[in-house]
């Protein structure tokens, strides 16, 4: 019987005892789902359960993209308010 995890082994300790994370500070509920973000039960390292590599680059891109989208939304809102107030 296979008792191994369905995820790739941990890049830090080599164990396959990772658990999927449902929520992270950087990606909310969607981010960890997009990148198969798992956490090693043995050494607490968080990584990509599909590739067995660090998710750091994905996190930075995701975080930056979210920041840009939020910034544009806020900027657009400010512009719209400015535009409507100047009619």
Out of 7, 31, 35, 40, the residue judged to bind Zn ion by CB under 5 A: 40
Q: Does 19 bind Zn ion (CB under 5 A)?
A: no
Out of 8, 9, 16, 42, the residue judged to bind Zn ion by CB under 5 A: 42
**x-or-dash string of contact with Zn ion, 44-63, rule CB under 5 A:** -x------------------
Shortest gap between Cβ of 22 and Zn ion (angstroms)? 19
What are the residues whose beta carbons fall under 8 Å from the beta carbon of 57, sequence distance 6 or more? none
Q: Does 43 bind Zn ion (CB under 5 A)?
A: yes
Torsion-angle region of residue 24: left (phi > 0), alpha (psi -120 to 50) or beta?
beta
DSSP 29-55: TTHHHHTTEEEETTT--EEETTTSS--
C-beta neighbour count of 83 within 10 angstroms: 9
Which is nearer to Zn ion, 19 or 70 (by Cβ)? Answer: 19
The residues binding Zn ion (CB under 5 A) are 10, 12-13, 40, 42-43, 45
């Amino acid at each position: 019987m296979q008792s191994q995890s369905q995820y790739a082994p941990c890049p830090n300790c080599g164990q396959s005892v990772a658990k999927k994370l449902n929520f992270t500070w950087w990606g909310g509920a969607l981010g960890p789902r997009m990148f198969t973000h798992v956490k090693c039960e043995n050494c607490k390292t968080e990584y990509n359960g599909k590739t067995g590599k660090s998710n750091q680059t994905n996190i930075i891109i995701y975080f930056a993209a979210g920041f840009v989208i939020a910034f544009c939304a806020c900027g657009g809102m400010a512009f719209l308010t400015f535009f409507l107030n100047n009619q």
